[in-house]
Amino acid sequence: MRLLSGRVALLGAAQHPHATKRLKQSWPNLHWFEAKPGDAFLDEVAVIVLATSADKPEGAYSIQISGDRAPRINIDGGPFSGVIYGVEELIQRRSTSSPAGVQLIVASIERVPTLSYRTFWTWDHSSNWELDQIGHQETGVFNPYGKPPTGFLADYKRMVDFCSAHQIAAIVVYGFLRDSHGGIPSAQELCRYANERGVRILPGIAICAYGGVYWEGRNQYNLATWLKKNPSFASQIHSDIGFQIEDLSFPLAFPRSDYTLSGCPSEPANMAWMEDSVSWLAETFDIGGINIESGDYGVCDCTRCNSRRGERESAEKRGESLESWSHADLTHNFPRLFKAATSKRSDLWLYCELQWDNLLDPLGSDSFQSMPEGGVYQHTLNRSYWNRVKRELTANDVARLPTSKNIFRCQFASQWNGDERTERYAFNGRDFADMSRKAADVGMMGLTVWGEASPHHVSTELSYLAFGRFSYDPSLTWDVFKAEEIDPRLGGEATANEFVSILEELDRNQVLSPKRLEVLRGISADGIKSTAGDTEGRWIWLANRLNRRLEMMKGKD
């Protein structure tokens, strides 16, 4: 151990403002000052050097601690986020604060993310991280925005802060642009804030669906605005709008509105408009990428679309091999949008949503032979299909895929799978660990999970921590993760075991007897009495959850 105390010089502070801020916030008793290379006094004081290394991958970092007379800490990071991750590692796991200063673990480390693409997937209307405001929603895809206009930035800035601190590289935002939460200026501010903290913002869009690039508002790149000017360009959808999910125990409803409009993807003017929209998006906002899909609430049945899609996607076969999307619509049109975006920015992560539960389907895989190199191809999994993928998918299967950058997207562990409670607030950490390990074992390059719920919910907090740690380093063991992340937050190993056991019992049982709930509430009350501070707050949250379950049992047979 080495003691860091007194005056500490910072080199590279101007180039790394957020990393500098985190050091000063975390160790306020040190006397910080900024220095520059060559200052004569640097051999006499402790020094922390922050530097970007272009030869490291994004998000990689190294920490070296040396110096005979005073500690010298070199943090070298890969572009964009590496230095921030290195500082967080130093603060969270390589040091202990004391009245005398900061005790440092003296050991050089070198870290490189195993999964490059570690992402939260969100809708603006149901991302609830700022809890002290009205308008919270927990599910839906065609929802109005019900929060105050400031709510968008309030939610997403909290989310960005968490991602920055826990090695989560990107956030997909559907509803990135709405007049009701600030339009262009708010979206630009979110990008600025996220970039400073090493988090990529990826607006979510769909090809001639989901509102276009500008989800809702008076803008030329809003789909409803475009189709009202050009009504003949609308798609011809003869089936019910929407989709159903077998792994969700209740049916979904999709009332028709401007939100459910879609344009014909075979209409040249529509696709020219989409290309212009994507070019404008890449030029106007300092985004980190774009999440692109074909839309999943119905396909156009016009003569041109049916002819272009061919026999595999004929109306007769759609019920057998497809649901409410079209692979042909995606493969014909994603390359155009990919080109429109990369012609403006070469550094974007361009995710392509390959829709649901088809990763093991060779017929589906054949459809993607023409997809552009450089795209990040996202394979979405509901829970029952994930169980198949976990058993059956091999590294050889992934090597045979026609796309080279492939990632999982977890559609479960959210409001879209489960019983009437859904899995949105379940303890999903073990699932995220398993998915990260499977991705690494078979050669997938990333994992996307839902990130809408606030980590104020302790089950969610622990799940997100697992996602951040295991997606960065899938070789991590659960025991080490628990000892480093869960136990300290819940009052030690024994109390953490009790807490997690209660979470998992609640998740397993949609109904528990009042007598059993009272026993569990008593355990949580003991946890409150035996802890303090943030740990006490987590036990209070658990007691409230149990109390709500007890209240809901009243009046039931």
Write out pLDDT tens, residues 270-281.
999 999 999 999
pLDDT, tens digit (0-9, with 9 covering 90-100), for 475-499: 999 999 999 999 999 999 999 999 9
Same domain (yes/no): 179, 277: yes
- 68 pLDDT higher than 90: no
In a domain, 467, yes or no: no
Amino acid, res. 434: D
pLDDT, tens digit (0-9, with 9 covering 90-100), for 436-457: 999 999 999 999 999 999 999 9
> Which of 451, 472, 500 lies at the terminal end of a domain, its last residue?
451
In a domain, 545, yes or no: yes
* Residue predicted with more confidence, 42 or 125: 125
Mean pLDDT across the stretch 367-388? 94
* pLDDT score recorded for residue 240: 81
Indicate the length of the chain as a whole number.
Answer: 557
- 366 pLDDT higher than 90: no
* pLDDT score recorded for residue 297: 83
Across the beta sheet with 109-111, what order do the strands follow? 31-34, 7-11, 46-52, 72-77, 61-66, 109-111
* pLDDT score recorded for residue 162: 98
pLDDT, tens digit (0-9, with 9 covering 90-100), for 340-358: 999 999 999 999 999 889 8
- 222 pLDDT higher than 60: yes
Q: Which two tokens stand for residue 203?
A: 């607006």
Query: What long-range pairs does 228-234 form, CB within 8 A, spacing at least 24?
Result: 230/269, 233/263, 233/264, 233/267, 233/269, 233/270, 234/261, 234/262, 234/263, 234/264
* pLDDT score recorded for residue 157: 98
* pLDDT score recorded for residue 4: 92
- 320 pLDDT higher than 80: no
Q: What CATH number corresponds to the domain at position 286?
A: 3.20.20.80
* pLDDT score recorded for residue 379: 96
Quick count: other Cβ atoms within 10 Å of Cβ 18? Answer: 18
Same domain (yes/no): 440, 342: yes
> Which of 111, 133, 151 lies at the terminal end of a domain, its last residue?
111
Backbone angles phi, psi at 480, to 5 degrees: -65, -45
In a domain, 256, yes or no: yes
As a whole number, the mean pLDDT across the chain is: 94
* Ranges 232-241, 304-313, 433-442: which has the least confidence: 304-313
Relative orientation angle of helices 533-553 and 458-472, to the nearest 10 degrees:
120
Same domain (yes/no): 389, 349: yes
Q: What CATH number corresponds to the domain at position 30?
A: 3.30.379.10
* pLDDT score recorded for residue 391: 98
Backbone angles phi, psi at 485, to 5 degrees: -115, -40
- 328 pLDDT higher than 70: yes
In a domain, 281, yes or no: yes
Q: What share of the chain is helix, strand, coil (3-state, %, to 5)?
A: 40, 20, 40
Same domain (yes/no): 22, 168: no
Q: In sequence order, what are the residues at sequence separation of 6 or more whose Cβ sits closer than 8 angstroms to the Cβ of residue 250?
A: 420
> What pLDDT band is residue 323 in, cutting at 50, 70 and 90?
low
Q: Cα–Cα distances in Å, from 125 out to 156, 176, 180, 393?
A: 11, 10, 11, 35
In a domain, 301, yes or no: no
> Which of 66, 89, 111 lies at the terminal end of a domain, its last residue?
111
Q: Which two tokens stand for residue 472?
A: 């960065």
Same domain (yes/no): 220, 336: yes
Same domain (yes/no): 341, 403: yes
In a domain, 201, yes or no: yes
Same domain (yes/no): 72, 164: no
* pLDDT score recorded for residue 194: 98
In a domain, 313, yes or no: no
Amino acid, res. 11: L
* Ranges 176-190, 223-237, 311-325, 393-407: which has the least confidence: 311-325
Number of domains in the chain: 3
pLDDT, tens digit (0-9, with 9 covering 90-100), for 132-182: 999 999 999 989 999 999 999 999 999 999 999 999 999 999 999 999 999
Alpha-carbon span 303 to 486, nearest angstrom: 57
Q: Is 263 helix (H, G, I), strand (E, B) or coil?
A: strand
Q: What percent of the chain has pLDDT over 70?
A: 97
Q: Which domain holds residue 493?
A: 485-553
Same domain (yes/no): 346, 438: yes
In a domain, 163, yes or no: yes
* pLDDT score recorded for residue 256: 86
Same domain (yes/no): 286, 429: yes
Q: Contact, 198 vs 168, CB < 8 A?
A: no
Same domain (yes/no): 267, 387: yes
> What pLDDT band is residue 61 in, cutting at 50, 70 and 90?
very high
- 556 pLDDT higher than 80: no
* pLDDT score recorded for residue 312: 56
Same domain (yes/no): 68, 186: no
> What pLDDT band is residue 184 in, cutting at 50, 70 and 90?
very high
Same domain (yes/no): 132, 76: no
pLDDT, tens digit (0-9, with 9 covering 90-100), for 69-110: 789 999 999 999 999 999 999 999 999 998 889 999 988 999
pLDDT, tens digit (0-9, with 9 covering 90-100), for 517-555: 999 999 999 999 999 999 999 999 999 999 999 999 987
Mean pLDDT across the stretch 401-407? 94
Q: Contact, 263 vs 209, CB < 8 A?
A: yes
Strand 101-104 versus strand 95-98 pairing type = antiparallel
Q: Cα–Cα distances in Å, from 261 out to 21, 136, 400, 405, 555?
A: 45, 24, 37, 31, 43
pLDDT, tens digit (0-9, with 9 covering 90-100), for 6-29: 999 999 999 999 999 999 999 999
